[in-house]
Structure 1
């Protein structure tokens, strides 16, 4: 059966499933071939006469902004093992930065699996990747065609070195978002760092206002990676005193406020809006789960992205 949600029933209607039209036990059709005159070929080789559910999914411009400062060269966290890309990543960055590359690869692979392959299931999301330390390097910009391995290959040569500048990173993300704006895609920024850096509210407000002015509020996700337990206790103490200790948290607060105050966009149904979030990933597994959670929230926008904050565990 076709997996499209439009075939599922609800409280007022009965399910209307769409079945494969080919003979039972047929050989898989080639999803990479020409699209059929009616319907589509699924990634596992079935023919359905309904519309490909991938075409009806909302599209996003996902901008990854990843810290590659010297602290990311720490070997206390390493790439996720036993994945198709583990060996390649470890050969270049067997450290925290490599763990981030593992999570990026997992995100892209999850999105690719959701879309499938072939002309009838072309990726509609655009990907950009910005790496930062004390300087900013836009490695990938508005990419529609590269597969997960090609995206990873573009980032592998970079290493973790230097200082940290959140302001330059956010300013660059705003420029990439504005330069590649499309009314067909909602902007999503995933910002990752293993540290803290002062950044003025004005910088985040400028990003959010630019996005709203162009037509859609940006969905901003800050991910804090690899804090040790002692730092976590210090941050927890300050948090209980209602001190705004985390610049990452404050960046999310600004984005959430902008989202809540943004006027409605007739091209973006409320059901596909992904609320901004803060997540704390203390190890490689939690980081991978965080990125997969964000990927899943884009695939199933009717649900909301949960705040994955593990500081109190």
Structure 2
């Protein structure tokens, strides 16, 4: 007598013969694109309880507001080598970020864009290491705040990265930080959307760094992060900022998936 076994996949995990199956109900809507520490969500919105994947390295592009307000001494870094102002706190937080990534044995590449009214590429496609941050000490706070001026430089970096074998295979991620409102320039959300068209795998995170963040700045940075499939965070002091950078360093876990 032949026996037939029927399995119905509902909301519980279904595994057989070494294969993993989506744990959502049949004909479910795509779940939000995200990668958790215990599971995996595919590009087309299927949710797997297990995660047969491995971390890969990233090309991290820091986009940092260096406008006049970033010279405010209301928040100061702990490390004495950095300027005693908001900008110095950002440099210190970048060190925390780099240390966290290096501890994970990842071969990351980093670029840095500093912006006020105009954006400037301070560093491009360098091997990620702590001494790289010291090279930024020659830059000082000045000028106004135009978000799109910094994003435009990111686009230039991404375009040049295509032909760079040192960046090939590394997942691009942007960490965009400002301490104030945007004044003029192009629509930053539209600019982020354009970056995503250029590089679909790009993740765009934003941070509001200020003791008195405005609602308008928070909304804009939130919308930018949403457009870039990233996270928005608010940091009101140097301790929170360092934690935010460390958390982002841990969350940048691009995957090479193998679901079979």
Fold equivalence (TM over 0.5) = yes
Partner of 2:175: 190
Report the 3-state secondary structure (helix = DSSP H, G, I; strand = E; otherwise coil) of the residue aligned with 1:250. Answer: helix
Partner of 1:161: 142
Partner of 1:176: 157
- 1:203 aligned to 2:187? no
Distance 2:129 2:134 in 1: 10
Q: Is the 8 A contact 1:196 1:246 kept in 2?
A: no
Partner of 1:260: none
Structure 1 residue 206, shift from structure 2 partner: 1.1
Runs (5+) with no aligned partner, structure 2: 1-14, 17-53
TM-score, scaled to structure 1:
0.59
Q: Is the 8 A contact 1:196 1:248 kept in 2?
A: no
Distance 2:178 2:146 in 1: 10
Runs (5+) with no aligned partner, structure 1: 1-10, 13-55, 116-122, 239-243, 257-275, 303-313
Distance 1:102 1:301 in 2: 28
Structure 1 residue 278, shift from structure 2 partner: 0.4
Report the 3-state secondary structure (helix = DSSP H, G, I; strand = E; otherwise coil) of the residue aligned with 1:191. Answer: strand
Aligned structure 1 segments of 4 or more residues deviating by more than 3 angstroms: 299-302
Partner of 1:110: 100
Q: Is the 8 A contact 2:208 2:218 kept in 1?
A: no
Structure 1 residue 131, shift from structure 2 partner: 0.7
User: Which structure has more strand as a fraction of its residues?
Assistant: 2
Change (3 A) 1:77 1:186: same
TM-score, scaled to structure 2:
0.70
Partner of 1:101: 91
Distance 1:114 1:251 in 2: 28
Partner of 2:249: 295
CA RMSD of aligned residues (A): 2.3
Partner of 2:30: none
Distance 1:227 1:277 in 2: 20
Distance 2:120 2:91 in 1: 15
Distance 1:63 1:245 in 2: 21
- 1:147 aligned to 2:129? yes
Q: Is the 8 A contact 2:175 2:204 kept in 1?
A: yes
Distance 2:73 2:101 in 1: 28
Q: Is the 8 A contact 1:187 1:218 kept in 2?
A: yes
User: Which structure has more helix as a fraction of its residues?
Assistant: 1
